Amino acid sequence: MIEFQNIGKSYGGVRAVEGLNLHIELGELVVLIGPSGSGKSTALKMINRMVDHDQGRILFEGREIYSFDVRDLRRRMGYAIQSVGLFPHWTVERNIATVPHLLGWSKESISQRVTELLTLFDMAPELFRQRYPHQLSGGQQQRVGVARALAADPAVLLMDEPFGALDPVTRTALQLELKRVHQTSGKTIVLVTHDIDEALLLADRIVLMNQGQIVQVATPLELLSSPASDFVLDFVGRSDLGIKLLSLKAVEPLVRHDPAPPGSPTLPQTASLREAVAILAAQGASVLSVLNAQQQPVGSLYASDIFVSHANTPA
């Protein structure tokens, strides 16, 4: 879908990105992460030519990006950034409709699409479509920013710290929404973040950068279980690596199909092992009753099974 071939970029003689090779597959959610100044934003912006590379080739759907009309290229790629960049004198509806409007969609199609997107992001259309950005909370503005990026149903969504500067609760809610949107739409998404937990939660693959170069490309589980170097280990957080690994593992494989003792604390079947450990510790319990979506018990989860199974995970 998007291919970086030996990409380089300098600003005034200073190398920001060097020797970048990466193939992003159709429908993948790839997270670019790394310390400040490592070249993440530059790499992202080269995809839609907000920044032009000066070495190598970038292919989009098999075609060199320099062979596209730049406006056409950008319309095919939704772009959402931390500062949101909503137009202050336009309503929510008009903001979301920016690209459909440029593409000459009919009034009815635009209105329908705005309703669809506001509903998707859990913002009642009748309440929000006529509001102006200053009448929204920060989290709502971010949602509108992402809705705008999705409006014309672009093949690709590029996101630069889209949930930065939000409180942790709103941030988590938006991350889960993005995960759901990705799973239901199957869009290719490239997201830049500083936040390793965000990367672990969302990414199909994580691209860890340092000083303009890729240090490791891996799935979240691979990154935690086989960090390529001490730099990676430090970046992902040496001290709480085990806890992070637990958050990637589902409880389901460890559920025993016999009922937990009466009065055991409960846990949804869809929870992660990290959540299970948190409840076990908080309640001082050694076994949990696992519930399905209908709140019916489906079995039990023993603390001893978690630690044995986790210890057996290949490092």
Ligand X SMILES: Nc1ncnc2c1ncn2[C@@H]1O[C@H](COP(=O)(O)OP(=O)(O)OP(=O)(O)O)[C@@H](O)[C@H]1O
Q: How far apart are CA 156 and CA 5, in angstroms?
A: 19
> Based on CB atoms, which residue is closest to ligand X, 140 or 193?
193
Q: How far is CA 91 from CA 35, 98, 116, 271, in A?
A: 36, 11, 16, 39
Q: How far apart are CA 63 and CA 297, in angstroms?
A: 53
* 126, two tokens: 């009748």
Q: How far is the CB of 37 from ligand X (least distance, A)?
A: 4
- Contacts with ligand X by CB under 6 A lie at 11, 16, 34, 36-42, 194
Cα-flanking dihedrals φ and ψ of residue 81, to 5°?
-130, 165
Q: How far is the CB of 14 from ligand X (least distance, A)?
A: 6
Q: How far is the CB of 194 from ligand X (least distance, A)?
A: 6
Q: How far apart are CA 114 and CA 178, in angstroms?
A: 17
> Based on CB atoms, which residue is closest to ligand X, 16 or 196?
16
- Quick check: helix, strand or coil at residue 63? strand
CA 111 to chain centre: 27
> Based on CB atoms, which residue is closest to ligand X, 11 or 87?
11
> Based on CB atoms, which residue is closest to ligand X, 38 or 247?
38
Q: How far is the CB of 31 from ligand X (least distance, A)?
A: 13
Q: How far is the CB of 86 from ligand X (least distance, A)?
A: 21
> Based on CB atoms, which residue is closest to ligand X, 43 or 147?
43
Q: How far apart are CA 108 and CA 114, in angstroms?
A: 10
